[in-house]
A and B are shown apart, each in its own frame.
Chain A
Amino acid sequence: MKSTSYSKKVLDHFRNPRNAGTLTGKDIAKGTVGNPVCGDLMEFTLKVKNNRIQDIKFRFFSHLVGKSLDDL
């Protein structure tokens, strides 16, 4: 896609990603969605305590980075 066809908000998230990275330690769950073959893969790590999400981080290999972030 052309850079100009993404919204400002999406581009802002692309430039300054929130919650990027990986969580480690106790009570961590990990999930991935997508496939690098198609050019979009996201990985989430969640810290869950008492059935509540305490923290969330993600990494990506994707052209839909910003869009995915926006969806969060």
Chain B
Amino acid sequence: MTVYLDYQSSKPVDPRVVNAMNPYFNETFGNPSSLHSAGDKATEALDKSRSKIAGLIKAESDEIIFTSGATESNNLALIGYALKNKGKGEYIIISETEHISIHNTAKFLMKSGFEVSKVPVDHYGQVHLNKIRERLTDDTLLVSIGYASNEVGTVQPIKEIGRLCRERGIAFHTDAVAAEGLLSLDVNKDFVDLMTLSSNDIYGPKGLGVLYVRKGIKLMPQIIGGGQENGIRSGTENLPAIAGMARAAEIVMQEREQEAKKLQSFRDRLIKEILENIPRSFLNGHPEKRLPNNAHFRFDGIEGESLLLSLNDKEIAVSTGSACSSKTLEPSHTLIAMGLLHEEAHGSLELSIGRFTKESDIDSVIKALPEVVDRLRKLSPIY
């Protein structure tokens, strides 16, 4: 059995979610836009699902827009808001460590005449409020800061950033994908105007995301058609996936606290024992303000892909911020923004755990890792 410690990349769908999806493939398969009873049944299921998902982030049902995934939600938030509200300004603030879909969408907006500023992060990957405050101008249109780093797990001071933006009358978007299912999310307490969620990140099916859009926030639709989702995102609703995500949200609301506690104890064991057992090993990201499921390390003198392949040989699936794991052949932009040298970033290892991680999985990696690191270091000219 493979030991799977790469939950940040992909999560299995919870079997309870699969059961909840099943009726919507060939029993309740109507189109919510149809006027007959089959359409009514679909509308009913759609409404119920929307309301459950809204509950997860303390939003209203009609503030939930379904998309094809977090990437589309991020595109819709940034491009949709920027284009619709161009008159208010043309300055957009993001951070150095945002997900690639935010970085590249911001790059696209720059080509379309908007100005984008990336606030730096500290050594732990945290954004500081004063760094945002000093960049705010009268023509700042939108601030977009991820709730937590999908890579190193550092949690951002979202409520403080949200409050600052609200006071200044600037829209605030947060990509909450890494945090959903692990932290308690509340769009009102956190002063959030736009929030990105993904179905798979709460053990729902892939191919479905959500953009929370606060009442009063106007967006330019990016997908044009029959006017579904309040005209903001056209296309026939993916009802099986939506019903699945609703069930997934329900499970999170019931089990999140208990699950996060379990994950945190696994995470703390990983961090403690790996740092103890392996010399010249370091934790990346914040020691306390980090997601309960993330343990991110770097090891002097070895390269991440060799580490990944060696662990893969022992049937342990992990992730690395090394260059060769990326399409660009650049090391992780998050690690570089945190001030790591390139050769340090190359030696990084991300372990992310989740709902189906067992104590024995933790035992396996704690046992295997020192041997693997030691072997690679013996072959390394820089250790």
Contact = CB atoms under 8 A, between A and B. Distances in A.
Contacts of A65: 306
Interface residues of A, number: 23
B341 interface: yes
A12 to B, nearest CB: 11
B303 interface: yes
B379 A59 contact: yes
B292 interface: no
Interface string B302-313: 111110110011
Contact of B381 (A15, A59, A63): A59
Nearest to A1: B324
A4 to B, nearest CB: 10
Contacts of A21: 379
A39 B342 contact: yes
A16 to B, nearest CB: 11
A70 to B, nearest CB: 15
B343 A39 contact: yes
Contact of A41 (B309, B322, B381): B381
A45 B109 CA distance: 52
B53 interface: no
Contacts, number: 62
A14 B68 CA distance: 40
A23 to B, nearest CB: 13
Interface residues of B, number: 24
Interface in A47-70: 59-63, 65
A42 B324 contact: no
B381 A17 contact: no
A18 to B, nearest CB: 12
Contacts of B341: 37
B331 interface: yes
A37 B381 contact: no
A38 B302 CA distance: 13
B382 A17 contact: no
A63 B382 contact: no
Contacts of A43: 381
Counting chain B CB atoms within 10 Å of each CB, the highest count among A1, A32, A42, A63 belongs to A63
A21 B375 CA distance: 11
Query: Which 10 pairs show the lowest CB-CB distances between chains A and B?
Result: A43-B381, A63-B305, A63-B324, A36-B343, A59-B381, A39-B346, A37-B342, A39-B323, A61-B380, A20-B379
29 contacts: A1-B305, A1-B324, A3-B309, A11-B309, A17-B379, A20-B378, A21-B379, A36-B343, A36-B346, A37-B343, A38-B323, A39-B322, A39-B342, A39-B343, A39-B346, A40-B303, A41-B382, A43-B381, A60-B380, A61-B302, A61-B303, A61-B343, A61-B346, A61-B383, A62-B303, A63-B306, A63-B323, A63-B324, A65-B306
Interface of B: 301-306, 308-309, 312-313, 322-324, 331, 341-343, 346, 378-383
Interface of A: 1, 3, 11, 14-15, 17, 20-21, 32, 36-43, 59-63, 65
Given A11-B309, A37-B342, A59-B381, 5 more contacts: A1-B324, A14-B309, A37-B341, A43-B381, A61-B346
